[in-house]
């Protein structure tokens, strides 16, 4: 069965829109993306080996239809490859700490440590905003899924663990056919086995006993892209953080787009994703 995530963007300015192309994972295979209401140019981030769309509006609404199949696909190798970005480069203090934690207790110990350093929430100023490498946290910090997962990936990679950052959408069970914004999570690979970690969802549920799993909170997710630290032809910003949902851009900066996110095929995606183990 084809699963579709439809993203509708209201065109309210004269600017270009940057959008992801979708991502295959062990829980869903990307089939492609169709665009209405814009001229589309595909560009590629060479370092991350993945594409994106630069969209020039031709109507008052842009619609992107992302198609997926519930069949399994391997995670892209580039998702786990070390990539030199200020968002994934660990400060030496964080690197030393992460190496010790992983040596003693493995991936789960590092996940537990990161969990102990965060309360879930959104702040205007992030602890790494002015840093050229991910700094070591010594006290509890408020962070979003983006902040928590950036810290986790930087630490795990410093400890030579294959870890990747995934951005996309989470559709909760109580909605089933829509969501309101992007979400992100972490995938690790050890001995060929892929596990998914979502500290933020555990914290939002009032839990700190983190266990691997794609959907600790009942629902499904649709992957759009991987990794932090993007540089794209035609986009005037190097090493930008991530690409989860469409964003407006021009020479002056970024601006969030007004989007509607609608899912069809919830049951098929639920059956494919909510299994005990993903290989």
Based on the fold, state whether residues 183 and 128 are members of the same structural domain.
Answer: yes
Nearest to 134 by CA among 253, 211, 247, 241: 241
Q: What is the CATH number of the domain that holds 36?
A: 2.60.40
CA distance 137 to 141: 8
- Which pLDDT value is given to residue 36? 99
Based on the fold, state whether residues 120 and 179 are members of the same structural domain.
Answer: yes
Based on the fold, state whether residues 208 and 137 are members of the same structural domain.
Answer: yes
Based on the fold, state whether residues 135 and 236 are members of the same structural domain.
Answer: no
Based on the fold, state whether residues 13 and 43 are members of the same structural domain.
Answer: yes
Based on the fold, state whether residues 31 and 141 are members of the same structural domain.
Answer: no
CA distance 7 to 189: 30
Based on the fold, state whether residues 217 and 84 are members of the same structural domain.
Answer: yes
Q: Look up the domain containing 18 and give its range.
A: 2-76+232-271
CA distance 26 to 126: 32
- Which pLDDT value is given to residue 277? 42
Q: Is residue 263 part of a domain?
A: yes
Q: Is residue 279 part of a domain?
A: no
Based on the fold, state whether residues 10 and 67 are members of the same structural domain.
Answer: yes
Q: Is residue 9 part of a domain?
A: yes
Q: Is residue 277 part of a domain?
A: no
CA distance 92 to 159: 11
Q: Is residue 267 part of a domain?
A: yes
Based on the fold, state whether residues 180 and 215 are members of the same structural domain.
Answer: yes
- Which pLDDT value is given to residue 274? 82
Q: What is the CATH number of the domain that holds 127?
A: 3.10.620.30
Based on the fold, state whether residues 255 and 150 are members of the same structural domain.
Answer: no
Based on the fold, state whether residues 70 and 94 are members of the same structural domain.
Answer: no
- Which pLDDT value is given to residue 275? 64
pLDDT tens for each residue of 160-174: 999 999 999 999 999
For tokens 């032809």, the residue is 233
Q: Is residue 227 part of a domain?
A: no
Based on the fold, state whether residues 171 and 207 are members of the same structural domain.
Answer: yes
**One-character DSSP codes across 162-215:** EEEEEEEEEEETTTSSEESSEEEEEEEEETTEEEEE-HHHHHHTT-------S-
Q: Is residue 278 part of a domain?
A: no
- How many domains is the chain partitioned into structurally? 2
Mean pLDDT for the stretch of residues 220-241: 96
Whether the Cβ atoms of residue 255 and residue 242 lie closer than 8 Å to each other:
no
The model carries a pTM of 0.94
pLDDT tens for each residue of 26-72: 889 999 999 999 999 999 999 999 999 999 999 999 999 999 998 88
């Amino acid at each position: 069965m084809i699963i579709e995530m439809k993203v509708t963007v209201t065109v309210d300015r004269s600017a270009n829109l940057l959008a992801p192309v979708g991502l295959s994972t062990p829980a869903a295979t990307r089939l492609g993306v169709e665009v209405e209401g814009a001229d589309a140019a595909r560009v590629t981030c060479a370092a991350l080996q993945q594409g994106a769309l630069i969209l020039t509006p031709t109507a008052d609404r842009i619609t992107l239809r992302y198609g997926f199949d519930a069949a399994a696909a391997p995670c892209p190798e580039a998702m786990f490859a070390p990539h030199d970005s200020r968002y994934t480069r660990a400060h030496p203090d964080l690197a030393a700490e992460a190496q010790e934690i992983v040596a003693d207790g493995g991936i789960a110990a590092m996940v537990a440590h990161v969990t102990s350093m965060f309360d879930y929430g959104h702040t205007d100023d992030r602890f790494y905003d002015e840093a050229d490498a991910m700094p070591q946290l010594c006290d509890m910090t408020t962070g979003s899924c983006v902040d928590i997962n950036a810290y986790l990936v930087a630490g795990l990679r410093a400890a030579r663990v294959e870890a990747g950052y995934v951005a996309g959408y989470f559709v909760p069970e109580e909605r089933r056919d829509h969501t309101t914004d992007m979400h992100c999570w972490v995938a690790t690979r050890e001995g060929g086995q892929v596990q998914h970690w979502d500290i933020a969802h555990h914290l939002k549920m009032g839990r700190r006993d983190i266990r691997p799993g794609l959907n600790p909170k009942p629902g499904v997710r649709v992957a759009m892209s991987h990794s932090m630290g993007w540089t794209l032809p035609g986009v005037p910003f190097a090493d930008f953080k991530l690409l989860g949902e469409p964003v407006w851009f021009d020479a002056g900066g970024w601006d969030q787009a007004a989007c509607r996110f609608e899912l069809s095929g919830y049951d098929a995606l639920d059956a494919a994703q909510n299994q005990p183990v993903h290989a």
